[in-house]
Amino acid sequence: MKKIIIFAIAFILSFTCSATEHTAKAQAINLISVDGNYNISFIATNPNSDGFYKGQKLKDFSLIGIVTKGDTVATSNLLYWENPDYIIAEGQQTVNLICEILLPYEKIVFKVPITAASNQIELGDRSDMYDVYNGYLGDDIYNILPNVKMYSKVGNVVTGTFSYSDYDSSTTNMQKIKWTFTPGDQIYQAKTGYIYVQLLERDETAVVEEITTPSLTVTSVSLATATSYDINIVDNIKGTKYEFTSSDPKIATVNPKNGIVKAIKPGKATITCKATLPDGRSETLTSDVVVGYDENAPVLTDEALDLSINDVFYITVENRIAKSKYKYASSDWSKVRVNSASGKIRAVGEGEAYVTCTITTPDKQVIVLRCDISITK
């Protein structure tokens, strides 16, 4: 008599999001055909996903399985999707999983029920879009607003386009403009928000031409040892060449091309960026880096944690600075998940990882704190 075999489809990156719970659960697998009484357990893994989502392909999920017959492990390493290029649709659907037994040769086909969500992950907030931006009457909205990167919750840069509604280039009144970010990949959902714009009257009598020069996004950076921060450019002029250097690489190193600073050991260093503009002008931009903190600076309530898988912990900041922005991130989402706004962390995989909290103060100072986490079963 044929049996119904139950498999645990366990996603290595199962995680509790801030608003919606996504936890992989055991699913029933309906047996179509089998030439012997086999039991199979398998894991489907996707390093960039915590489950099945619309727009993904089956081949995005690697399969690892063990085939047994009674107490004997069968000779089989062939476990694969029947149609690896199948694009997962939204809602309930069924796909085939193939298992081939080599000695003696037998073939097992399983129907795998999948319930897919409509979007893979929520896009990160466009956190710098809450200030008021100024322009001049007649300006195009795209010439007023800065270029902003959008990130998924696993830290990937998401490409796409911004659009803006209800913008009026002919008024000096304060405008609340709705923006929409449309991702280029259908596995992400669109993101909307609001920004405030006020246009000024251009002084037609001015005889001095305003010269724009680039600047750095931060004036100083405080880092915990073994953390990093990406120093970016404000008012970038197309065609400008940038070269970053560190005054003391033993304290902090910097990538000469992209400005990513890495803290090595406690101390102070200066990051210098030489900007060579297309018209031949040269600007020297600097940002101070301090590795280590004084007792009055913001600190995490915990700098090291020992957790078990599925433990939940809230990590917070002491000595908070008013009107600052706080953003949490995980070094390895296969081991530790963290809510970027609240600091709620969940241990999901055995091993070592760390969580950082990046603080941006009102005067453009940045502080990066670190908590090391060890996860056991």
H helices of the chain, in order, are 141-144
What's the pTM value of the predicted model, to 2 decimals?
Answer: 0.44
CB 77 within 8 A of CB 51: no
* Residue 284 three-state SS: strand
In a domain? residue 127: no
The phi, psi pair for 141, rounded to 5°, reads -60, -30
Residue 363 covered by a domain: yes
Q: What is the pLDDT along the chain (377 residues), one digit of tens a residue?
A: 333 333 333 332 222 222 222 223 333 444 554 545 677 777 788 876 667 777 788 998 888 877 777 777 776 668 889 999 998 888 889 988 888 877 777 788 878 888 877 665 555 554 445 557 888 888 888 888 777 777 765 566 778 888 888 899 888 888 888 888 888 877 777 888 888 888 888 765 544 445 578 888 888 999 988 888 999 888 888 889 999 999 999 999 999 998 999 999 999 999 999 999 888 888 999 999 999 876 678 999 899 999 999 999 998 898 888 888 999 999 998 899 998 888 899 999 999 999 999 999 888 889 999 999 999 98
Same domain, 277 and 369: no
CB 343 within 8 A of CB 21: no
CA distance 162 to 149: 11
Is residue 242 in a domain?
yes
**Residue 102 falls inside a structural domain:** yes
Cβ–Cβ < 8 Å for 78, 108: no
The verdict on residue 55 lying in a domain is yes
CATH number at residue 349: 2.60.40.1080
* Whether 306 and 284 share a structural domain: no
DSSP 330: E
The total number of structural domains in the chain stands at: 4
What is the C-alpha to C-alpha distance for residues 55 and 53, in angstroms, rounded to an integer? 6
Q: Which tokens sit at 10?
A: 């366990």
Burial of 166 per CB tally in 10 Å (0-12, 13-18, 19+): exposed
Q: Are residues 234 and 317 in the same domain?
A: no
87 with 159, same domain: the answer is no
Domain boundaries, position 337 = 299-376
In a domain, 24, yes or no: yes
53 and 111 assigned to the same domain: yes
